[in-house]
Amino acid sequence: MTDGPAQTIKEKLDIVEFLRGYLPMTPAGKNLKARCPFHNEKTPSFMISPERQTWHCFGCGLGGDIFAFLMKYENMEFGEALKVLAEKSGVELKRADPREYKVFGLLYELQDAAKDFWKEQLKTAKIAKDYLDERGLTPETIEEFEIGFAPNDQDSLAMYLINKGYDPADITRAGLIGRTERGLQYDRFRGRIMFPIHNHLGKVVGFTGRILPQLDTGELGKYVNSPETPIFNKSKLLYGFWKSKSGVRESGKAYLVEGQMDFLMSYQVGIKNAVATSGTALTPDHILALRKIAEELLVSFDNDDAGFAAGERAIDLAEAGGMQVRIVSLEGVKDPAEAAQKDPKLLGEAIAKAEPAFKVFFRRYLPWGKVDPLNHAELKNLRILLNKIKSISSPVERDYWLKDLATYAKMSESTLKEEMEKVQVVQTPERFREEEKIIPERKYSRGERISKDLLGAAYSRGDYSILNDVEDLLDPSSKKLLKTLKSGAKKAADPEEDAFLNLVILEAADVSDGEIADMKSALKDGSSKTKRLELTERVKEAEAKGDEEALKKAIEELRSLPQG
């Protein structure tokens, strides 16, 4: 995986610079540390080594090079990561395999061509421009998000693309045209405002088309989406995320809205951390993409029953996925798009006043606060709340909300806890568990761990002489590693040694003289304890054999050990 162009790319791109675009990081000795994007954590255990150009998370055990990071982070295959990094580093790749081009390259190209065509059509379609204007979108937003218009013709896009030399079979595969039973081809999108859906790197991968109200016969859906293709997967993509990623990262919060218009209007009035699902309900994959860079999800939904039910599902999922959720209440308007259009300041104000989801749930399910244990409906609602609390992934938060519920419902916490034990918790989605599987690391003994930390301290100081008095006490692999480090090498030929070297370097920390002295005495202590055990065994053995000589020697050695 690291031969050829990949190796050249790695030499050209600095992992620290590259990862800086993804993670806020702080220096830690010769390394940098960050909060791990791949598991849920509050204190950073994700280390990046500029010297080795590697990263490793001591929380979840994941690690690797720049490719491993991008593939994991963006959910990419190696081939795709190679393309992205080649472009970034200016390394030229040999022409893509024609078969691969058919699968991916051509699909991207066709989406792009369709987008350009529809953008051009919008310029002369007064009816469509008027509609967008009426909904409050500015020309700048329309341009920035590459919105277009699909004319209400049988096959104007198909003809445009065929004239450009594309094969109708490929255009069909790209989800842009369909065929009637009699074999007549037609454009999938007709008479619709076209919202391109960009993947998280900003490439168009599909579309959502909204019918113009004047053309809506009610026969086809108000919204039509591109079908799933090898490059378009609705359950993973978030609309607008390519633009709002940095806003989400900076604030640590993502404002989840329902559709394109909600997103665009929110973004337009300055809510730069908005995201929307594209024609599907929120999925675990969406949550995984968001929680890499945000702790909090802001959700707004209508205050009617249907709106509440839809929002509630998303909230339960986000809480189970380890995100905290706040609810943005919009009074007197239908949705975020309407709020933004009514008054540009309204949405920002509502977001600032967002409440923790549980506060809203408590009021919703137990409007009278107190629970009457003989009232079946109230008891059932109480159990729904307990179930939600039980599903929170963080024990600290779980505890917090249980206490809060006890106060709100005027019940004792222990009673609630007992009741909570009994409720059946909603299953954590398989996808989360898959992602959270902790990769078992080799278990290091206490002595090995201390040796490793001492090696790290010496490495960090660039002074190996501090280990002179304990060199003999190091375990064999640490001894070997010390030699490698002293030689100035940052890599070891033996894979096991190299893995250990990687850990030492990534975990290397600047430690005080006092700490070094403590570690050394712990090492000495540990080794004398081991020695004592060994000698006690030898004494027993000699006694059993009646070997006076050996017994005398063992006892002498035992006495000479430092006491402690």
**SS3 sequence, 182-199?**
CCCEEECCCCEEEEEEEC
Q: Which is nearer to Zn ion, 287 or 474 (CB)?
A: 287
Dihedral pair phi/psi, residue 452, rounded to 5°? -65, -45
Nearest by Cα to 230 from 360, 320, 111: 111
Q: Which is nearer to Zn ion, 60 or 91 (CB)?
A: 60
Q: Where are the beta strands (DSSP E) in 319-399?
A: 324-327, 355-356
Q: Minimum distance from CB of 512 to Zn ion (Å)?
A: 27
Q: Which is nearer to Zn ion, 72 or 553 (CB)?
A: 72
Instruction: Kindly state whether residue 39 participates in binding Zn ion, applying the rule CB under 5 A.
Output: yes
Instruction: Kindly state whether residue 330 participates in binding Zn ion, applying the rule CB under 5 A.
Output: no
Q: Minimum distance from CB of 298 to Zn ion (Å)?
A: 25
Residue 459's CB: how many other CB atoms inside 10 A? 23
Of 9, 13, 23, 38, which one interacts with Zn ion (CB under 5 A)? 38
| Interface segment toward Zn ion; rule CB under 5 A; list 1-9, 31-39, 234-242, 304-312 | 31-39
Q: Which is nearer to Zn ion, 57 or 238 (CB)?
A: 57
Q: Which is nearer to Zn ion, 36 or 150 (CB)?
A: 36
Q: Alpha-carbon distance 561 to 227, whole Å?
A: 76
Q: Which is nearer to Zn ion, 37 or 247 (CB)?
A: 37
Q: Which is nearer to Zn ion, 38 or 67 (CB)?
A: 38
CB 58 within 8 A of CB 34: no
Instruction: Kindly state whether residue 25 participates in binding Zn ion, applying the rule CB under 5 A.
Output: no
Q: Minimum distance from CB of 509 to Zn ion (Å)?
A: 18
Q: Which is nearer to Zn ion, 59 or 356 (CB)?
A: 59
Instruction: Kindly state whether residue 150 participates in binding Zn ion, applying the rule CB under 5 A.
Output: no
Nearest by Cα to 465 from 480, 482, 490: 482
Interacting residues with Zn ion between 46 and 75 (CB under 5 A): 57, 59-60
Q: Minimum distance from CB of 124 to Zn ion (Å)?
A: 52
CB 53 within 8 A of CB 66: yes
CA-CA distances (angstroms) from residue 182 to 168, 185, 186, 362, 558? 16, 9, 11, 57, 96
Q: What single-letter amino acid sits at 36? A: C
Q: Which is nearer to Zn ion, 42 or 95 (CB)?
A: 42
Instruction: Kindly state whether residue 432 participates in binding Zn ion, applying the rule CB under 5 A.
Output: no
> What angle in degrees, to the nearest 10, is found between the helix axes of 395-409 and 413-422?
120
Q: Minimum distance from CB of 504 to Zn ion (Å)?
A: 19
Interacting residues with Zn ion between 210 and 269 (CB under 5 A): none
User: 205 in helix, strand or coil?
Assistant: strand
Q: Minimum distance from CB of 59 to Zn ion (Å)?
A: 4
240-265: b (≥16 Cβ within 10 Å) or e? bbbbbbebbbebebbbbbbbbbbbbb
Q: Which is nearer to Zn ion, 63 or 175 (CB)?
A: 63
Q: What single-letter amino acid sits at 433? A: R
Structure tokens at 240: 């607008």
CB 526 within 8 A of CB 475: no
Instruction: Kindly state whether residue 293 participates in binding Zn ion, applying the rule CB under 5 A.
Output: no
Q: Minimum distance from CB of 26 to Zn ion (Å)?
A: 16
CB 507 within 8 A of CB 47: yes
Q: Minimum distance from CB of 18 to Zn ion (Å)?
A: 18
CB 231 within 8 A of CB 107: yes
Instruction: Kindly state whether residue 357 participates in binding Zn ion, applying the rule CB under 5 A.
Output: no
Q: Minimum distance from CB of 45 to Zn ion (Å)?
A: 6
Torsion sign (Cα): 488, 491, 495, 500: positive
Q: Minimum distance from CB of 41 to Zn ion (Å)?
A: 7
Binding residues for Zn ion (CB under 5 A): 36, 38-39, 57, 59-60
